[in-house]
Amino acid sequence: MNEQYEIVDRAIDSNGFMTSAASAAYINPEVWNKDVLRFKEAQLVITNLGRQYRDLQAIAGDTLNITVDGDAAEASDLTESTDATISALTMTQIAFTPTERGVAYQVHDKERRRTFMDLMANVTSKIGYGLALKMEKLVIATVTSDAGNSVVANGVVASAIASSDELDEYDVLSARAEIKKDHFVPTDLVVSVGQEKSLLGNTLFNNADKFGARDVVLGGKIGHAFGVDIYWSDLITATASRSKALMFGKSRTGEEAFGVCAIKDPSVEMQREALGRYTSIIGVEDYDVKVLHANAICTIESYDAY
């Protein structure tokens, strides 16, 4: 995740993060839920670029079927006294089937009494981070595997990528073209840490009057160039010295490339075990991730030594 939000693991021992029954009894679950949601949302980069569906939170059921818009038909010449040709409404159905994901810790009385920090606040942040980590990784895996377009740096075969095939402005422009040819509007690009290094070392990105401004790298966002907002994520990792950046577009009617459907937002539950003198704390959410428009996604594979 983004480095400015990373939580340092300071476990006291192998059972780390334990607290007293008294402390657990005074915790307000609603406050915990808000804190966990806040920590989780601070971690998300790629997930936030998709459409968020909350329909299942208000109704009974475990599956959400949505209709994804298709291309509009082109108008045709009309002839007097002849009926106009009826165009088909092209739409696609996508089914979201949420699955529970969770992360749990145990807090022991002894460690709570002897610790020098606020363990409960630390557990809250770790639960939020853990839930975000799971969601962000699932989004990356889903959009990468289901992407309808792909570009390889310098136009080489993916298996032949060499150290000279780093991500550059031509690759970004090629990905934009791939998305635009399918009638989508490019909006966002997310790169790996190694690909970010390549871009920031590029002349165009270091020239303020070409780049637009020397934006500070903050919140995962590098800046805006070539018509897209550019972000970095350390969850896009290199395999065999190659990484795949992700470019996203929107439909002409404003639909995002992918969506996240949550039937349950993050919530925290605790259970006290008197004999063991510890409290179990678990954070849970229930959601699914689906690609809505495959051709609105383009991967850019390039050399990445990191």
pLDDT in tens, 135-183: 999 999 999 999 999 999 999 999 999 999 999 989 999 999 999 999 9
The 8-class DSSP code of residue 218 comes to B
Q: pLDDT of 191-221, one tens digit each?
A: 999 999 998 887 766 663 344 444 434 456 7
User: Burial level of 271, CB count in 10 A (0-12/13-18/19+)?
Assistant: exposed
Evaluate if pTM is beyond 0.85.
no
pLDDT, mean over the chain: 79
Q: pLDDT of 27-61, one tens digit each?
A: 455 556 677 777 777 778 899 999 888 766 666 66
User: In the structure encoding, which two tokens stand for residue 93, read together?
Assistant: 């159905």
User: Burial level of 276, CB count in 10 A (0-12/13-18/19+)?
Assistant: exposed
Q: Domain 3-70+93-143+261-291 has what CATH class?
A: alpha beta
**Model confidence at 2, in pLDDT bands (50, 70, 90)?**
very low
Does pLDDT of 296 surpass 90? yes
Q: Are strands 221-225 and 64-69 parallel, antiparallel or unpaired?
A: unpaired
The 8-class DSSP code of residue 239 comes to B
Lowest average pLDDT, out of 9-23, 254-268, 271-285, 290-304, goes to 9-23
The 8-class DSSP code of residue 15 comes to T
Provide φ and ψ at 38, rounded to 5°.
-65, -45
Comparing CA positions, the residue from 162, 234, 154 lying closest to residue 197 is 234
**Model confidence at 14, in pLDDT bands (50, 70, 90)?**
very low
* pLDDT for position 121: 75
Residues 6+ apart with CB under 8 A from 263: 56, 57, 62, 98, 286, 287
The 8-class DSSP code of residue 14 comes to T
